[in-house]
């Protein structure tokens, strides 16, 4: 059993807290803030319909459960190197003193330093140095193309959950580190690649608009 405490916290979200692995700097553990099987209360018509269509299993409200389920599906599709090119690898559930968590690869820069997020870039223009707009656009184009080509479902693309990883001093790669898989009421994207790509394209368009507004307004030309 892994022993975790507040000194190891490296990230906080609405639903989960992320801890550095106590003995391996290349791993982290995500712990849900709520025990969904016992404490979660289904609220609203949408959530109840979602719940009913999943055989009244509350685990489907747990993002850890959805993430692990989808990561396993990606691994089963083969060519893991391609499918996890912009995602951390998931190593499944693990027992901790704080309850069940999920063990993930912790994305680090080529020199072992911590990555920053797109939100960090937004708040502090200049983090990437010279030609940062070109670097970000090139990385985004690769990120979006990877999603479309491989029909990778990401539940929410945001500045906060997109890491900028330095592969080497001149090259960056974007990693999506939170909320993978499909949480639609009727998960057609899980069963039809063409529908998954429609949903992905819709999310990409929305995210691209945010990025365009940011790049035009916050980074030097």
pLDDT in tens, the chain (221 residues): 999 999 999 998 888 999 999 999 999 999 998 888 778 888 899 999 988 989 898 988 899 999 999 999 888 887 666 788 999 999 999 999 999 999 999 999 999 999 999 999 888 877 877 777 788 889 999 999 999 999 999 998 999 999 999 998 888 999 999 889 988 899 888 888 899 999 999 999 999 988 888 876 544 43
pLDDT in the model for residue 142: 95
pLDDT in the model for residue 95: 96
Q: Left (φ > 0), alpha (ψ -120 to 50) or beta: where does 220 sit?
A: beta
CATH architecture of 1-106: 2-Layer Sandwich (3.30)
Q: What are the residue ranges spanned by the domains of the chain? A: 1-106, 109-221
- Which three-class secondary structure string do you get for the chain? CECCCHHHEEEECCCEEEEECCCCCCEEEEEECCCCCCCCCCCHHHHHHHHHCCCCCHHHHCHHHHHHHHHHHHHHCCCHHHHCCCCCCEEEEEEECCEEEEEEECCECCCCCECEEHHHHHHCCCCCCCCHHHHHHHHHHHHHHHHHHHCCCECCCCCCCEEEEEEECCEEEEEECCCECCCCCCCHHHCCHHHHHHHHHHHHHHHHHHHHHHHHHHCCC
pLDDT in the model for residue 126: 77
pTM of the model: 0.89
């Amino acid at each position: 059993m892994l022993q975790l405490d507040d000194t190891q916290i490296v990230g906080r979200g609405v639903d989960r807290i992320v801890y550095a692995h106590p003995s391996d700097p290349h791993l982290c553990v995500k712990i849900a803030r709520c025990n969904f099987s016992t404490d979660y209360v289904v609220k609203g018509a949408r959530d109840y319909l979602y719940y009913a269509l999943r055989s009244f299993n509350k685990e489907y409200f747990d993002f850890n459960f959805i993430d692990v389920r989808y990561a396993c599906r990606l691994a089963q599709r083969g060519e893991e190197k391609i499918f996890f090119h912009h995602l951390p690898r998931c190593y499944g559930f693990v027992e901790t003193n704080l309850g069940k968590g999920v063990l993930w690869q912790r994305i680090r820069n080529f020199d072992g330093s911590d990555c920053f997020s797109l939100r960090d870039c937004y708040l502090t223009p200049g983090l990437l140095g010279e030609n940062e707009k070109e670097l970000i656009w090139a990385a985004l184009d690769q990120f979006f193309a990877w999603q479309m080509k491989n029909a990778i479902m990401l539940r929410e693309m945001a500045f906060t959950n997109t890491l900028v990883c330095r592969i080497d001093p001149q090259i960056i790669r974007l990693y999506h580190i939170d909320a993978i898989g499909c949480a639609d009421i009727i998960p057609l994207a899980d069963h039809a690649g063409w529908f998954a790509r429609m949903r992905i394209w819709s999310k990409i368009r929305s995210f691209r608009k945010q990025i365009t507004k940011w790049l035009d307004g916050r980074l030097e030309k």
